[in-house]
Amino acid sequence: MVLTIVFGIIGFGIMVFVHELGHFIAAKRVGIGVETFSLGWGKKIVGFDYKGTNYRISMLPFGGYCRLKGEDPYSAQEQREDGTFFAAPPWKRIVTSAAGPVANVLFAVLVLTLIWWIGFDVHTDGNRIVLASDYSLEGFAELPPATRAGLKTGDRIIAIDGQPVHHFQDLLETVATAPNQEMQLTLEREGRMLQTVLTPELDLDTGAGRIGVYAWRDPIVDKVTSDGAVSLAGLRRGDRIISAAGNPVRHTLDLYQQLEDRPATLPIRYERDGAAREVTLVLDYDEKGLANLGCTFAVGVYPSQRVGPVGALSKGVKESWETFFITLKGIGLLFQGVNLRNAVAGPLRITYYVGSVATSGFNFGFAQGLVSYFRFLCLLSIVLFLINLLPIPGLDGGQILVFTLEVLRRKPLEPKVIARIQMISFSFIVLIAVVVTFSDILFFMGR
């Protein structure tokens, strides 16, 4: 948990700092003065002055801020000094306001380009599926789309709408981003190629699409902890569980189904070096009812496509654009009955998610941890870009809208009008901050 919090704070801070750096560079380029540029918030630890700007490192390592000269519309009007924010032409203020979100996009494109150029591994299951309707691990009000479309446990999803599906992560990402959209699946069943059509349903708790399938994961023991039921029963890495309580275990869900009723013991058969053995697992459960098996099961490793610098740039731009488009669709889904408390995250939950992605990634190695960490930061940077450009008071988009009105009117707005807009903006942001923070607290209380 400590590492999760630390990685989360650092990640969130990187995104905020990049955003403020965009404002800083743009302001300097168009001739607007910058009074302070800080790495971190709070009390100054160390700093120096250079060309009218105080550069500093502050106590709280949570992003940073860029304080522009004359941001108070009253003082800017009274002083009428060159280089103050509100005394600058509207186009300069528009450029400066837009530069923060643009910096987040450039950060995402650059980092994703580097990741694709260096290469990475995807740790996930294969493209073989298990129908959720065959098990009682998750409740559906009615038969899920995959079942209605005729899919069966053991099918391999080969392609969706003509695009290859190499592993379960491909399937998950495609389905999650296309709720209520008809798609054509190509699947393999017992050596035969089949076609079917289905429409992912909208999960109101997450805002994502789902079709009612799980990944087929072979029940081969991977990592084992010393205090779990598997270790105490003598199993070790590479052992394959073949039955539980006399029932065949083809994949891990067969095993988890046997644990649904929380048995105190579970007799199993497993295979090691071609020989079958029998043991009994002595089980205990956590507060959520999950058995402490004390092991993980092996997942596949899929290397990324090897590309050169130009190809990597193309991949980085494409992935950034797809994230932007998906985020845009996600905002629209918020108005289709999605549970906002679960689907909309505030700073606390975002920080937790960033840290969780990092710590989970590091379980597969240092390099994989960094890749997972920065890819998630890139996704959030694109989201931050889009959200900030919404024409809402208090956001950069709201500022740009006000300054655009000045251009259309061909005369500046009165200082009192700007001040009132800022007051309304501040109140709006405080209200939103309180709501999402309260939502985050409820989320963590429910964990």
Where in the sequence numbering do the catalytic residues fall? 20
Spatial CA neighbour of 360 closest among 348, 347, 375 = 375
- Cβ neighbours around 46 below 10 Å, total: 8
